[in-house]
Amino acid sequence: MKKYVIGITGASGSIYAKRLIEEIAAQGHKIYLIISKPGRRVWGDELEIELGEERREIAENIRHSLGYDKDDETITYLDNENIGAPTASGSFQTEGMVVVPCSMSTLSGIAHGLSSNLLERSADVILKEKRELILVPRETPLNAIHLENMLKLANLGVDILPPMPGFYNKPESIDDLINFVVGRILDRLGIEHNLYKRWS
């Protein structure tokens, strides 16, 4: 069993995060989940799943929405304000982190090393420990500030993976488009999957 950190922000695209969590958890891996307050709101708006405000309530609702018992330990929810959580320390071993979807605000905070909350601090830890960090920015159009921040992070070895689906595999549904993007994230994490047909 491997451990992964997943951050969810207030950008549109909660379905990418939900599908990614489902795929990683289904393969028996442990997930440490951090959701910003705007991320919780967008999750509720887009997926019609209200998470609540209290830590225990959020944790139980997240697990329930993904088909897990409320006490299941596959998914551990971490409060974004809890800077003392395990993922805030480099001594806590994980395989890597994905921020999906990633808002431009969070991307900027990571690019400038702000560590103003647990999500940003966890990403900073991943960077300093030279582990896999994947950001899935969901914004369009992009301005020069967005692009400069992405370039800065790319030069530090961060994977910038915009949710841009391929069409060579002839997608027939929204699910196909979502699966392509999630599959590409899993590729970067080195996790095998059958979410899309590979080019041959």
- Binding-site residue numbers are 10-12, 36, 103-106, 138, 168, 184
With beta carbons less than 8 A apart as the criterion, state whether 119 and 152 touch: no
DSSP for 98-146, written as a single string = EEEEE-HHHHHHHHTT---SHHHHHHHHHHHTT-EEEEEE--SS--HHH
DSSP state of 88: G
Interatomic CA distance for residues 77 and 85, integer angstroms: 10
* Position 112, amino acid: H
Report the binding-site residues for dimethylallyl phosphate: 168, 184
**CA geometry: angle at 40 spanning 34 and 46, to 5°?**
125
Binding residues for FMN: 10-12, 36, 103-106, 138
